[in-house]
Amino acid sequence: MILKVLNKAVYFIEIIIAASLVVMTVLAMATLAVELSGVIFGVHILLSADFLKLISTILEVFILIELFRIAVAYMTHQNVLPTVFEAALIAVARQFVVFEISDQSLQSAAALSVLLLAVAVAWWLLARVNACEYGPEQRL
């Protein structure tokens, strides 16, 4: 009895998380549409900082989509590892794209490089043991 109630509570929480990710994605898309319309209709000029912000927003949308895929795969009891690694690679790539030079640039670049290498090596190792493969119906 108690396990049934707890399972329903967990499923309800999963639905709330998935719905929240959809709402966040829609909001990020709206932000992207506003930024793009300002550039398209000449409200403001696309400077390099604005360009980086636009690219960052686009990559954030991709990250949210991957997080939603993780939630769906988790809820349907599918292998989430491939999607987790895709989201991780997109997140690290986003940091590389919007990387700004500062006093700590060398250390930050080295840390991002090590992180990217760690994610890639982990994905490669898991793929070698077939832990990171999609099933026939897993890709949305």
- Per-residue confidence (pLDDT) for residue 43, from 0 to 100: 67
pLDDT tens for each residue of 17-30: 999 999 999 999 99
pLDDT tens for each residue of 39-85: 777 766 777 777 878 888 888 888 899 889 889 988 888 888 877 88
Place of tokens 């990710």: 21
| Six-digit token string for 64 | 């949210």
- Per-residue confidence (pLDDT) for residue 138, from 0 to 100: 47
Average pLDDT rounded to a whole number, residues 128-132: 77
Q: Which residues contact 81 (CB under 8 A, 6 or more apart)?
A: 126, 131, 132
Q: Is the pTM of this model over 0.85?
A: no
Distance CA 60, CA 30 (A): 12
